Structure 1
């Protein structure tokens, strides 16, 4: 197991319940939140109602580049290393390819655009890191039955095998997963949305399928699933996930018994040998909680939002929640920022959840038309797409996960010279404006050969990217604006960005001053010191 990289900055370790965060839910989002908080020197109690980890099924498999960046920062680089890399998404109508999307990168990140690795293996890697982290205490068999909060913190009552117990913390992160209705009820939040009646069948099979090892394939109306669609993903160890839309009354046990499951598989792979590794039947939901924050409790992952799986926006968005909430809680608990900083979690991650809901609902309305008129419109678009590029642009096989852009956040200073142009075309990176994540690229850091990427260097501190001849003046501004203990740094891109990829991705002029948040998102582009002072204050909710 690769150890967590030592931080660039001295971060004090906090102690006591007045500085402890209770993380409710030990799935991948809760695990990530716990590891990030510990990296910030915050003690964590990680609770789960289950008796132990359930390793059955591959579950969420698609991990996006920016999520791999977060996991790498807490020491889980093995997920990127073990995962199967893919960078092309192909879409077919019947037997004709309509288009393919190459996943572009605004920098030249060493991390792959996507890897596929079973959720079980990702959880195992994260568990190993948690076991080595003295700031994280894990408690299984702790079912939350009560939650009370006041100005001093959060008190959680849990049912355990040995009886009832009560735990205290300053804040709580509720990451109890899709079945977190009891927690949502305790917090008094709703979970409006819709549930889809259509059934989907997953089979993970091990087989030799040459040419399919590094690409996602989506088929509309193939002859082996007429009127419906099929999605195929490659996974490590010659495993492929096949995801069929099936009739609502489909019976998986019966299909196994009567050989029709084998027929379905062979219609795709032919007479090759194969082994079924895992199979499951599921229906999905599009729901979002009515609040992402209830006083001292912050909701994350599937407990806060459920979306259709086409586009891999579930787990990836949940890790985005964890990344966002961890640095903000750490800054508040260390006294580096006011509690008002936590208000931005609701704003930023609520907006991210709504965008994911909008994107995936549009996909589902195309994939699973709800009436005859919608069916007819989809058929017309698909038929036209065989010859018409404009029609192909209207074919929706799932817009793949991407980091949300905090361009409208109260922490972001807009740039009048670079207004936000809106969502980029699918497969393309966002425009480099304040609110988007800093492009990643290889770097060289003197004395730290373990730091090889730009985001590794900026994570964990308030950073200003500035020409070397302005460093002294920028440092003086940071000294005036930040309390003494806040991790901060001033970097010269020309020295660190050895390939020029970051400057190219930012379209940065020689005299630009970039303010970067501790989670590697751009807070501002400035040209003078007064703008830097204002932007740093705003980024920490001090403005």
Structure 2
């Protein structure tokens, strides 16, 4: 059956967020045009280096996650120092058995190169450099995108053109409120041999070689270390380089070890968020929608989560499996995620750069006591590292009174599996061979049954829905334990691997209602026993274009 003919999605910005959006849309069979105002890609500097496990999972669905992880430096320990004395360290935990380590460090430049290789293999992605967008005019059928004297027609637009998107935000009429911090931060990528430092992140409060301020050190591939120094507002990099003070600054850390300065930059932190992430047929993503300080690696990582959320919802709308109203949930979910990131990074910045004497005194007290008092250490804030956001309050999520969200988990931990949370990952067995749960989930909606699959459980709805028995996938019970699955339960998992609902055996009749809610369709307030959701247009195939089918599963399209 032929697919509905639609205009491509236009993606503004060819950075990692734009690249990911285009690749995910291609996986769903949706063509895109990627526009970038630059003449070519910038191929210098580490930029965003810290790629989180859940983001590697997303990139693995488009064939890039394993390549990025293989080249990156794996680390799972975060150490925090006051002066030169270590206060504490912690390791990351995860339910299930993930495919990737908690983080890998690799330069944004290399990440972009690997994603470009995947884009080059996708004929449905058209990348155009030297195209500055100067107009966005919406109508009932789509968006007219103007680039100087050239115009393009798009079904929808995703704006991920980075922090300097003021002109595009102005075209859309969205605010971008927040604050900017006075202190600057100096980045230096240093190539050196530093034994023992290659597998951990180090954060120093008030070290003797940067008194009164902070230093962050991350390992990178090829014996490169990314060092961030907090420096005064009037810091002059070129003057320090010319005087030899930059070399002296570096030697206070690397000592007599031979070193090479690979790249340097000075930047200023901002905490800002747009008031709307959806304006009609235009979605804003990544730094174009929100800016956070880098302590916690929540910039690029949250932008990739924006991309995945936008891509599956655009695909469902464009294939006719959901109505345009589904896109409003993009704003609901990702605006809430951005607010959480701002809250977390804002608290970190208040600790790093106290805005008043009261908070400065509190910081001094906490750092002094943390050396000997374990109960104080959770209050030492060097950055809560990136984590997947929890859509527990989303209009797409069906709550479970027996599984309630306990709020932000402890640093380095993940919440238990419940509606709104990213499903734990683990190896699974299918008739088609071994794979992973999150890979299966990202093929469409997945109904995971902790018992026998009942006849007629698959509702007559549009789009890919697959029903699989947990025992068949997980004969050893590893995944069932990670889920804490109860006999007969039905776990409904979204195309972005977040849990939409967990139903008890006597709630099986609510599956159509749960699925309708999860694609943004209105459902009755009291949720009476439904029969089926109204069928929509047929889809071209049961799974995304590059996703494997699973033999023996029950699928509805």
Instruction: Quote the residue 2:467 is aligned against.
Output: 490
- Aligned residue in 2 for 1:312: 297
Secondary structure of the 1:197 match is strand
CA distance in 1, matches of 2:255, 2:283: 49
Equivalent of residue 80 in structure 1, options 69, 73, 85: 69
Q: What residue number does 1:386 align with?
A: 371
Go from structure 1 to structure 2 and tell me whether the alpha carbon gap of 1:14 and 1:117 turns closer, same or farther (over 3 Å shift): farther
Q: For this pair of structures, how many residues does the alignment match?
A: 519
Corresponding residue of 1:6: none
Q: CA deviation at 1:381?
A: 1.1
Aligned equivalents of 1:225 and 1:511: distance in 2? 59
Residue of structure 1 equivalent to 2:491: 514
> Does 1:525 find its partner at 2:502?
yes
Distance 2:290 2:483 in 1: 31
- Contact kept, 8 Å, 2:440 with 2:446, in 1: the verdict is no
Partner of 1:63: 51
| CA displacement, residues 178-237 of structure 1 (integer Å, 9 cap, x when unaligned) | 000010000001110001110111111111111111110001011111111100000111
Match in the other structure for 2:249: 264
Determine whether 1:274 maps to 2:262.
Answer: no
Q: Within 1, Cα distance between the matches of 2:431 and 2:58?
A: 23
Deviation of 1:129 after TM superposition, in Å, equals 0.9
CA distance in 1, matches of 2:495, 2:454: 19
Q: State the Cα distance separating 1:471 from its structure 2 match.
A: 4.0
Match of 2:139 in 1: 150
2:453 to 470, 478, 494: 470
Task: Tell me if structure 1 keeps the 8 A contact 2:450–2:486.
Answer: no
8 A contact 1:19–1:333 mirrored in 2: no
8 Å CA contact 1:15–1:43 kept in 2: the answer is no
* Correspondence for 2:351: 366
Partner residue of 2:120? 131
Counterparts of 1:350 and 1:499, CA distance in 2: 39
Residue aligned with 1:469, SS: coil
Report if the CA contact (8 A) 2:7-2:153 is conserved. no
Cα RMSD between the aligned structures?
1.3
Superposition deviation, residue 515 in structure 1: 0.3
Q: Could you tell me whether the CA contact under 8 Å between 1:421 and 1:431 is conserved in 2?
A: no
Q: Could you list the per-position Cα deviations for residues 73-115 of structure 1 after superposition, in whole angstroms to 9, with x for gaps in the alignment?
A: 0111211121111101111111221121211111111211100
Matched residue, 2:234: 249
CA contact (8 A) 1:454 1:497 kept: no
Aligned residues of 1:149 and 1:296 also touching (Cα < 8 A): yes
Q: Cα deviation per residue 1:370-419 (whole Å; 9 max; x = unaligned)?
A: 22332222111111111112221111000000000000000000001111
Further displaced range: 105-114 or 309-318? 105-114
Contact 2:142–2:155 under 8 Å retained in 1: yes
Conserved 8 A contact 1:442-1:498: no
Which deviates the most, 524-533 or 83-92?
524-533
Distance in structure 1 (CA, Å) of the matches to 2:3 and 2:44: 36
Post-superposition offset of 1:468: 5.3
2:192 paired with 1:207: yes
1:231 to 2:210 alignment = no
Deviations 1:338-379 (A, max 9, x none): 111111001000000000001000000000112233222211
Task: Quote the offset at 1:499 in angstroms.
Answer: 4.7
Q: Extract structure 1 runs of 4+ deviating beyond 6 A.
A: none
SS in 2 for 1:393: helix
Matched, 1:331 2:316: yes
Q: CA deviation at 1:241?
A: 0.5
Distance 2:380 2:158 in 1: 38
Q: 2:102 aligns with which of 100, 113, 120?
A: 113
Shift of 1:15: 6.7
Any idea what SS the aligned residue of 1:511 has? coil
Aligned position for 2:537 = none
- Determine helix, strand or coil for the equivalent of 1:340: helix
Equivalent position of 1:220 in the other structure:
205
Matches within 5 A, 1:150-189: 150-159=139-148, 164-189=149-174
The 8 Å contact of residues 78 and 200 in structure 2, kept in 1 or not, is answered as yes
Contact 1:321 1:349 in 2 (8 A): yes
369-378 or 353-362, which deviates more: 369-378
TM-score normalised by the chain length of structure 2: 0.91
Gapped runs of 5+ residues in structure 1? 1-11
> Gapped runs of 5+ residues in structure 2?
524-557
Contact kept in structure 2, 1:201 and 1:279, CA below 8 Å? yes
**CA shift for structure 1 position 136:** 0.7
Decide whether aligned partners of structure 1 residues 379 and 467 sit closer, same or farther in structure 2, where only a CA change above 3 A counts.
Answer: closer
In the alignment, is the contact (CA less than 8 A) between 2:451 and 2:488 conserved in 1?
no
Tell me the CA shift for residue 474 of structure 1: 1.6
Aligned partner of 2:539 in structure 1 is none
Tell me which of 72, 82, 86 is aligned to 1:97: 86
**What is the DSSP-based 3-state SS (H/G/I as helix, E as strand, rest coil) of the residue aligned with 2:176?**
coil
Once the two structures are superposed, residues 443-502 of structure 1 have per-residue CA deviations (whole angstroms, 9 ceiling, x without a partner) of 2232245xx321111112111001452242322xx22xx12xx11111112221255332
Farther-moved stretch of structure 1 (346-355 vs 123-132): 123-132
- Equivalent position of 1:240 in the other structure: 225
Alpha-carbon distance in structure 2 between the residues aligned to 1:104 and 1:499 = 21
Partners of 2:116 and 2:4 in 1: CA distance: 22
Q: Report SS of the residue matched to 1:125.
A: helix
Counterpart residue number, 2:330: 345
